[in-house]
Amino acid sequence: MQIITLHRTLYLVYIPVFNILYLTLTHPLLFQVFTRHRPKMTFLNQKPFQTNDTFIAPTASVIGNVTNWDESSVWYNAVVRADSGFPITIGFLSNVQEGAVVTTLPCPQNAIDTDPLKSAEGTHTNASGEGVVVSRKEVGKVLETGFPPVTHIGHYTSIGSGSVLTSCRVDDLVDVGDKCTILEGAWVETNVILEPGSVVPPYTRIPAGGRWGGNPIKFLGELGDVEKAGIKQKAIGRGVMAKEHAVEFLPVGNTYLQLEELEREGKTAIQG
């Protein structure tokens, strides 16, 4: 048995015989299940970047070439997955709320065939984002607009719970409602509110300063100054909430690596 003290009455307890890792808050004999889930994961040598005041929830998944800028937050069960060689950026004080999915296209349909990355041996990789191979066939690296299929979320932008964003651009000061869908090549300009459940079709441009909603999306009206100010205040409020949640969780650290090493070596140890 291995007992590692994390913080006074907080312990990690590993029992090799049953291959179980437990967490206890009061006493090593009062166990609660501890998860090995890693909120951040390197993929194709691309490691997520975050500032020291970014909040990534313990049950979120941030994978690959993702940049989280100052005071941004990724909430519980949200997935930000940049595993196709194309980056995802989340701006200052922006938030990706519970259960949202943000990703990029590995191969946009009808893409322009430009400069795929191929070695002298004929092998191919998309680790650098310079090309993609699907079913052993080289395909292009750009959208029909001529831009790469990256996903960009600007500053003071809120992505509602259960929303899905794929290879799109959402500018600063945008409030994306719950369960919205924004598809590849779409561009949502600044000072925009998308009503919950809205669907933005591929290659659709949403002009600045309006309220939009529906499936497919339609213009509902212009935003007033109070509504525009509310977009920023909502993002700031989420930032404050993120700080409150962050102080409730100790850093994950590298404890799991030590426990896995003990498991491989078949050792039993007790450490206070």
At residue 268, the pLDDT reads 57
The pLDDT score that the predictor gives to residue 162 is 97
Residue at 56: amino acid letter? I
In this prediction, residue 231 carries a pLDDT of: 97
- Spatial strand order in the sheet of 32-33: 2-7, 10-15, 20-24, 32-33
Say what the pLDDT of residue 161 is. 97
Peptide bond into 216 cis (omega under 30): yes
CA 21 to CA 188: how far, in whole Å? Answer: 45
- pTM of the predicted protein model: 0.71
- The three-state secondary structure class of 230 is helix
Q: How far from 48 is each of 107, 129, 180, 271, CA to CA, in Å?
A: 22, 15, 25, 32
The reported pLDDT for the residue numbered 30 is 38
Residues in the chain: 272
Contact criterion met (CB below 8 Å) for 154 and 94 = yes
Give the separation between CA 49 and CA 16, rounded to whole angstroms.
34
The answer for residues whose C-beta is within 8 angstroms of residue 152's C-beta and 6 or more apart is 88, 89, 168, 169, 170
CA–CA dist 103, 99 (Å, integer):
13
Q: Which tens digit of pLDDT belongs to each residue from 103-146?
A: 998 754 444 333 344 444 444 444 444 444 444 454 445 677 77
Instruction: Tell how far CA 22 is from the center of its chain.
Output: 27
In order along its 272 residues, the chain shows pLDDT tens digits of: 444 444 444 445 544 444 444 444 433 443 333 456 788 899 878 889 989 899 999 889 999 999 999 999 999 999 999 988 789 999 999 999 999 999 998 754 444 333 344 444 444 444 444 444 444 454 445 677 778 889 999 999 999 999 999 999 999 999 999 999 999 999 999 999 999 999 999 999 999 999 999 999 999 999 999 999 999 999 999 999 999 988 876 555 445 566 677 677 776 544 44
The rounded radius of gyration (Å) of the Cα atoms in the chain is 22
The residue type at 235: A
- Report which DSSP code applies to 43: B
Q: What is the model's pLDDT at position 177? A: 97
pLDDT number for residue 256? 58
Which residues, 6 or more positions from 243, have their beta carbon under 8 angstroms from its beta carbon?
A: 53, 55
Phi, psi dihedrals of residue 181, rounded to the nearest 5°: -130, 125
